[in-house]
Amino acid sequence: MKITGEISTQHTHPECVAKALDTDNMPYMKTAVRENTVVFTIESEKIRSVVATTDDYLMNLKIAQDMCEIEKDKKTAEKDRKHN
């Protein structure tokens, strides 16, 4: 029996978040961007794998979001410095 799941989260910088998360994907996982939403899908025959992977993904999602915000703030500050 296949178990499938999808997590959709909205972000200010979805491309950045998806790129950060995509590097950890295994063959049974996929990360995509739809408008301002990051969509994570998983498909496995083992519930334990789905639960563990989802737990890891959610922790990594928070870190990716934080890092993308820091990078955005850093670029904005550099741009402001150049214009002043």
**pLDDT tens track of the chain, all 84 residues?**
899 999 999 999 999 999 999 887 889 999 999 999 999 999 999 999 999 999 999 999 999 999 999 887 776 666 667 766
Residue 37 CA to residue 39 CA, distance in Å, equals: 6
- Whether this prediction's pTM lies above 0.95 is answered by no
Structural domains of the chain, ranges and CATH numbers in brackets: 3-83 (3.30.310.50)
The residue whose two tokens read 């737990």 is 55
Is 33 in contact with 68 (CB distance < 8 Å)?
A: no
User: Where would I find the H helices in the chain?
Assistant: 14-22, 47-83
